[in-house]
Amino acid sequence: MGHLFGKEYSLEHVVDVAKSIVLAIHKAPQITGKTRIEAEILWGEDLVPVIEVMEQTGRAFRYVQWDYETIKRCHDKGESPVIVAIGAAASLSNLGWNCGSCGFDTCKEYNEFANGVGSGLLGGPSCNWKVLDWAIACDWACAAAWQYRVDNRIMGSVGAALGFLGYLPGSSVKLGLALGPPRDLVYYSREDVHKVLTYEMDKMDLLNSVPAMFAGFPGGGNPAYKTKDDWWAPPENVKFWMDPAPLEIVQDALFEKIPLIVAKYSGEIEARYKK
């Protein structure tokens, strides 16, 4: 006998689903059979450092802001998403296939190069075959989530935050699969984002970031741009110029604000891997 209120019980259930998703991640087939995959589960207050880092990267990259606003507002309303962190050790090749897909003639040449460079926000450089193994594991994770009818979206923005904070230390590439809360298409309809961004801001995002959807009649050297319904009266044209303001935001967010957040939480996070 018992009595459960469904919505109150749902977070606990989503955590159980996340555990099953981790099983799917490690069950996923591989092309190489040699790629080491890692997975971890975070929710509740353990998301706070991730959210704080995403706030800063969202200042620099608007698409990250979409993810940040969605996850933060769900968390603040007591509907904490559950994050399945998925990583892989993909920076070096132990295959000896010399396939050339990385741009080098041999695995040895690639490894010599990869050993001497740092990684970007999402990791790399990487062996393409190992990235494929990792991608298959991520696909299996997403498919498993949908089999449980749990709303989900896999996010590079979360992966970048995990990288900054030192999660999945054995992995060179990382993504975060956001699960729940129990509402329809939370990460696609993005109801919470619409409360923050105006229609004009959404329109300018598309104009700035997805120009192929709005550009027309580029031939003739003075390409018109479809910025309004009657775009021909008069037409508006593409113009390129150097704007230092976005670069200043990137500099402040990535190299000043985020290091402070990392310093605040790094000791606690590192300690977990020493147990």
Q: Walk along the chain (275 residues) in steps of 10 and give the mean pLDDT of each run.
A: 72 92 98 97 96 94 89 92 97 95 95 80 88 98 95 95 95 95 88 83 71 51 72 76 88 95 96 88
pLDDT at residue 199, as a whole number:
85
Residue 220: per-residue pLDDT: 53
Cα end-to-end distance, the chain, whole Å: 39
The predicted structure's pLDDT at residue 122: 73
Query: What residues contact 93, with CB distance under 8 A and at least 6 apart?
Result: 102, 107, 110, 111, 127, 129, 130
**Looking at residue 103, what is its pLDDT?**
92
In this predicted structure, what is the pLDDT of residue 68?
A: 95
Quote the pLDDT of residue 210: 54
Q: What amino acid occupies position 108?
A: K
Residue 119, CA distances (Å) to 90, 124, 171 in order: 11, 5, 11
Residue with tokens 């993504």: 175
Name residues whose C-beta falls within 8 Å of residue 120's C-beta, 6 or more positions apart in sequence.
none
Contacts of 191 (CB under 8 A, 6+ apart): none
> What is the per-residue pLDDT for 1?
62
What pLDDT, on a 0 to 100 scale, did the predictor assign at position 217?
Answer: 46
pLDDT at 165: 96
Read off the tokens for 187. 């990460």
User: What pLDDT, on a 0 to 100 scale, did the predictor assign at position 232?
Assistant: 77
The pair of structure tokens assigned to 198 is 């105006």
Nearest residue to 125 (alpha-carbon basis) of 117, 135, 137, 136: 117
Instruction: Say how far apart CA 174 and CA 167 lie, in whole Å.
Output: 9
Strands 37-43 and 215-216: unpaired
| Cα separation, 29 vs 51, whole angstroms | 32
Q: Where do the structural domains in the chain lie, given as residue ranges?
A: 6-188+242-272, 198-240
Spatial separation of the C-alpha atoms in residues 257 and 231, rounded to whole Å: 41
6-188+242-272 folds as NADH Oxidase (3.40.109)
Break the chain down into helix, strand, coil percent, rounded to 5.
50, 10, 35
